[in-house]
């Protein structure tokens, strides 16, 4: 077959397309494995029963989440299905109130308010909001803040009161704790500068 023949080009186009389809399928399966709960970068949902911290990784040159010992959320140890249901509810709360209009999650959203991807690790919960609300734990302070953001402002821009119920606020907090455990390849940069 010479390069003058249309058959040569057709065979080239068909074989290149076929090879690239195989590569695309392989990359898609690989990505899904990495980004699914229980995958390489995303812990299982019941990670909300554990301490979430971070450390600077000198090889990757970025902050990476560290999953520590037991630290039940709201004093409850959730099963994997219970945790998944709670986090799914939190996601619905976050979607239904359009938190993304002001906040960023996993790189999506706005910067009117703080980036929430690692908000669970924000030292302000223990340093400012726990004393302000009188809450004994970080998660209770987060619930109090989310139910009454107008009562506990810390910044020049204020978060409006979105009339969240306690159950809705707790579900949103479970989502935020799980989100902090996800290895986002160091995003947002320098979140490790915050000391929880």
Residues of this chain that interact with ligand HEC (CB under 6 A) are 93-94, 97, 99, 101-103, 112-114, 116, 119, 122, 124, 146, 153-155, 157-160, 162, 172
Least separation in angstroms between residue 39's CB and ligand HEC is: 25
For residues 182 and 64, what is the distance between their CA atoms, to the nearest angstrom?
A: 9
Using a 10 angstrom Cβ sphere, with 0-12 exposed, 13-18 middle and 19 or more buried, the burial of residue 71 is: middle
Which CB sits closer to ligand HEC, 43 or 114?
114
Which CB sits closer to ligand HEC, 14 or 110?
110
Least separation in angstroms between residue 22's CB and ligand HEC is: 42
For residues 161 and 39, what is the distance between their CA atoms, to the nearest angstrom?
A: 36
Least separation in angstroms between residue 48's CB and ligand HEC is: 15
Which CB sits closer to ligand HEC, 41 or 148?
148
Which CB sits closer to ligand HEC, 99 or 130?
99
For residues 46 and 146, what is the distance between their CA atoms, to the nearest angstrom?
A: 22
CA dihedral 42, 48, 49, 50 (to 10 degrees): 60
Least separation in angstroms between residue 45's CB and ligand HEC is: 18
Which CB sits closer to ligand HEC, 24 or 98?
98
Least separation in angstroms between residue 69's CB and ligand HEC is: 23
Distances (CA, A) of 107 to 4, 14, 29, 81, 167: 50, 37, 22, 27, 26
Residue 57: name the closest of 186, 195, 182, 178 by CA: 186
Under 8 Å between Cβ of 105 and 180: no
Least separation in angstroms between residue 106's CB and ligand HEC is: 14
Which CB sits closer to ligand HEC, 122 or 183?
122
* Sign of the torsion angle spanned by Cα atoms 33, 36, 40, 45: negative
């Amino acid at each position: 077959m010479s390069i003058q023949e249309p058959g040569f080009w057709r065979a080239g186009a068909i074989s290149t397309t076929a090879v690239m389809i195989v590569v695309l399928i392989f990359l898609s399966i690989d990505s899904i494995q990495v980004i699914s709960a229980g995958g390489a970068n995303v812990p299982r949902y019941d990670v909300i029963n554990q301490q979430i911290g971070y450390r600077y990784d000198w090889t990757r040159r970025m902050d990476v989440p560290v999953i520590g010992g037991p630290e039940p959320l709201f004093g409850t140890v959730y099963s994997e299905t219970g945790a998944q249901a709670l986090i799914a509810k939190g996601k619905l709360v976050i979607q239904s109130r359009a938190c993304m209009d002001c906040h960023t999650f996993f790189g999506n959203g706005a910067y009117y308010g703080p980036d929430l991807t690692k908000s669970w690790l924000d030292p302000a919960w223990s340093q400012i909001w726990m004393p302000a609300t009188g809450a004994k734990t970080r998660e209770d302070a987060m619930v109090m803040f989310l139910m009454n953001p107008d009562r506990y402002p810390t910044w020049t821009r204020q978060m409006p009161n979105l009339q969240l119920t306690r159950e809705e606020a707790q579900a949103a907090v479970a989502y935020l704790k799980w989100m902090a455990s996800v290895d986002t390849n160091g995003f947002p940069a320098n979140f490790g500068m915050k000391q929880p």
